[in-house]
Amino acid sequence: MTETKQHTHNDLTAAEIGALAHLYRGEIYRSTIWRTRLDTTTNWSVVSLGVALSISFASPEASPLPLLIIGILIWLFMILEARRYRYFNVWRARARWMERCFYAPMLHHEDYQNNCNWQNILANDYLKPEYHVSYVTAMGRRVRRNYLWILIIQTIAYLGKLIIHPTSASSVEIFIERASVGPIPGEIILFGGLLYVSCFVMLSHYVSRKDAVNAKLRSAGDALG
Share above pLDDT 70 across residues of the chain, in percent, rounded to a whole number: 90
CA–CA gap between residue 21 and residue 98 (Å, rounded): 9
Q: Which DSSP string do the residues of 6-23 spell out, in sequence order?
A: ---SS---HHHHHHHHHH
CA–CA gap between residue 76 and residue 71 (Å, rounded): 9
CA–CA gap between residue 31 and residue 92 (Å, rounded): 5
Q: Which of 92, 88, 44 is nearest to 70 (CA)?
A: 44
In-domain check, residue 2: no
pLDDT in the model for residue 16: 87
Exposure string of 121-146, with b = 16+ CB inside 10 Å and e = fewer, is ebeebeeeeeebbeeebbbbbbbbeb
Give the tens place of pLDDT for each residue, 156-195: 999 999 999 999 988 999 999 999 998 999 999 999 999 9
Distance of CA 44 to the CA centre of its chain: 15
Average pLDDT in the chain: 88
CA–CA gap between residue 58 and residue 116 (Å, rounded): 60
10 pLDDT higher than 70: no
Q: How confident is the model at residue 221 (pLDDT cuts 50, 70, 90)?
A: low
Asked if 153 and 213 count as a contact pair (C-beta separation under 8 A), the reply is: no
pLDDT in the model for residue 222: 57
Give the tens place of pLDDT for each residue, 82-98: 999 999 999 999 999 99
Q: How many domains does the chain have?
A: 1
In-domain check, residue 216: yes
Asked if 145 and 209 count as a contact pair (C-beta separation under 8 A), the reply is: no
Domain extent at residue 132:
14-220
CA–CA gap between residue 53 and residue 79 (Å, rounded): 22
In-domain check, residue 3: no
Highest average pLDDT, of 6-20, 97-111, 127-141, 210-224, comes from 127-141
Peptide bond into 166 cis (omega under 30): yes
In-domain check, residue 7: no
Give the tens place of pLDDT for each residue, 39-81: 999 999 999 999 999 999 999 999 999 999 999 999 999 999 9
In-domain check, residue 6: no
pLDDT in the model for residue 8: 45
Higher pLDDT, 8 or 57: 57
Asked if 41 and 31 count as a contact pair (C-beta separation under 8 A), the reply is: no
- Beta bridge partners, 113, equal none
In-domain check, residue 8: no
Amino acid at residue number 148: L
pLDDT in the model for residue 223: 59
In-domain check, residue 68: yes
Q: Please give the model's pTM, rounded to 2 decimal places.
A: 0.83
At residue 67, what are phi and psi to the nearest 5 degrees? -70, -20
In-domain check, residue 183: yes
CA–CA gap between residue 211 and residue 134 (Å, rounded): 12
CA–CA gap between residue 84 and residue 141 (Å, rounded): 12
Q: Which of 214, 219, 81 is nearest to 138 (CA)?
A: 81
Q: Which long-range contacts (CB under 8 A, 24 or more apart) does 214-218 make?
A: none
